[in-house]
C-alpha cells in the first residue's frame, strides 16, 4: 500500500539504514547527517566493517522494517546499489530504487511513491549522496491519477506471480 503522504520537512522522519562492507563508510556519514537534521535513524548494520558480509541480510532488515512501519523510509547502500535494490524489492509493499542523482531521487518519490532509496558506494554519482538522500526524503508523492493507476498495476502484477 503506497504511503501517499505529504512529507513536512520540519517533521522528523523514521529512517532505517543498512549497508554491507562496501557501503559501511557512506552509511555512517549518512546516519550522522540525518541525525543532525533531527530524524529518527535506526542503523540496522553493518555495525562493524566485515569484508565478508553479504548485502541481502541488510536489505531484508531494512525492507522488513519499512514494510512494518508504513510511514517510514529506508536507505540501503552497497557497491553498485543494484544488489540491495533487487533484494529489497522482493518484499511486498516495498518500492526501492537506485538514486544516482537528485532527479532520480525526486522522480522515484514523486512518481512511484518509493519508500527505499538505494545508493552506490563504489560508483560515481551525478550528485552528492547526502543531497540525493535529502531530495528523496523531502519529496512528497504527487498522488496524481496516472501515478496511482501505475501503482495499482504494480499491485496487480504481484497477484499474478
Residue 1 lies in a domain: no
- Dump the DSSP string for the chain: --------TTSPPEEEEEE-GGGHHHHHHHHHHHHHTT-EEEE-S--S--TT--HHHHHHHHHHHHHHSTT-EEEEEESSSHHHHHHHTTSTT--EEE--SHHHHHHHHHTT---EEEEESSS--SS-HHHHHHHHHHPPP---HHHHHHHHHHHHHHHH-
Residue 39 lies in a domain: yes
Residue 147 lies in a domain: yes
Tens of pLDDT along 113-136? 999 999 999 998 888 999 999 999
Q: Residue 138: give the domain boundaries.
A: 14-160
Residue 2 lies in a domain: no
Tens of pLDDT along 13-65? 999 999 999 999 999 999 999 999 999 999 999 999 999 999 999 999 999 99
Residue 127 lies in a domain: yes
- Give this prediction's pTM: 0.90
Residue 124 lies in a domain: yes
CATH of the domain at 64: 3.40.1400.10
Amino acid at each position: 500500500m503506497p504511503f501517499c503522504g505529504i512529507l513536512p520537512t520540519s517533521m522528523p522522519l523514521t529512517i532505517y539504514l543498512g549497508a554491507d562492507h562496501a557501503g559501511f563508510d557512506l552509511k555512517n556519514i549518512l546516519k550522522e547527517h540525518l541525525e543532525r537534521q533531527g530524524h529518527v535513524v535506526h542503523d540496522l548494520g553493518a555495525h562493524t566493517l566485515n569484508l565478508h558480509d553479504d548485502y541481502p541480510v541488510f536489505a531484508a532488515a531494512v525492507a522488513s522494517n519499512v514494510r512494518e512501519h508504513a510511514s517510514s523510509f529506508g536507505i540501503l547502500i552497497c557497491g553498485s546499489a543494484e544488489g540491495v535494490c533487487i533484494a529489497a524489492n522482493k518484499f511486498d509493499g516495498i518500492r526501492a530504487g537506485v538514486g544516482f542523482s537528485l532527479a532520480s531521487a525526486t522522480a522515484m518519490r514523486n512518481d512511484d511513491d518509493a519508500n527505499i532509496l538505494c545508493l552506490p558506494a563504489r560508483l560515481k554519482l551525478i550528485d552528492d549522496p547526502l543531497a540525493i538522500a535529502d531530495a528523496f526524503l523531502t519529496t512528497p508523492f504527487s498522488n496524481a491519477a496516472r501515478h496511482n493507476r501505475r501503482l495499482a498495476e504494480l499491485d496487480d502484477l504481484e497477484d499474478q506471480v
